[in-house]
Amino acid sequence: KKAWPHKHYALFHSMGAGKTFAAINLAAARFMAKQIDRVLVVCPTPIKSVWSKEMAKWAPCDVDPFILESGQDKALDRWISNKSDALRVLCVGIEALSQGKAADLADKFVKEGTCMMIVDESSKIKTHSATRTKKCIALGSLSEYRLILTGTPVTQGLHDLFAQMQFLHTGILNCKSYFQFKNMYCVMGGFGGYEIVGYRNLDQLQSNLNDIMLRRLKKDVLDLPEKLHST
């Protein structure tokens, strides 16, 4: 419900708190409302098949999934050209965007209709200069709706947020470049003044994120006992 009014949104729930479930139902709702006719899921390669299974399990509509593996160009072309009344879901490994044809095939899929793009474990695109990050941002610009999922949006520092927010929408942080982001939110120092030694304007940063993100921790939403550790 919180994500529905927004074309771009971030679910930063901790692991097990329902990111995938919420994403699937949001995508299905947009499909049933005729806002989209397809979904591109970019995720770590080992969990591509998990997305297909979870879609089939939780989506309140018919789903027609395709898991992109290497050497499947012709099979994907046939799948795209087939008519279907179901929600088309293409699952692509995020690592595959760094090289090969995966990005071009995903590009073709997105352009064939009205797409919602989901990046699962979006901390994988935190490096703004990486090829896969640039490919994701380019694919996102072609998609009507964009959603990122991760329980760890920040692993090394708040600068991890820049590329993830650039994928969602360049206006979120009011920064068109990483250089501008550092000038606005980072305190530079160290050798030659090139190292990030702190952060500033955090209230402004939080204000920019408040409307387009939701974070839920396991302890907030699940009735589970405390973990018991034994040696």
Judge whether residue 173 has pLDDT over 90. no
Identify the band that residue 154 occupies on the pLDDT scale cut at 50, 70 and 90.
confident
Structure confidence by residue, pLDDT tens digits, 84-104: 899 999 999 999 998 878 999
Angle between helices 131-141 and 161-168 (to 10 degrees): 20
169 token code pair: 């929408």
Identify the band that residue 5 occupies on the pLDDT scale cut at 50, 70 and 90.
very high
Q: Which of 62, 122, 120 is nearest to 89 (CA)?
A: 62
Q: Which of 177, 172, 76, 161 is nearest to 126 (CA)?
A: 161
Structure confidence by residue, pLDDT tens digits, 179-199: 888 888 888 888 888 888 888
- Spell out a b/e string for 101-119, using b for 16 or more CB atoms within 10 Å of the CB, else e: bbbebbbebbeeeebbbbb
Look at the pTM and tell me if it is higher than 0.85: yes
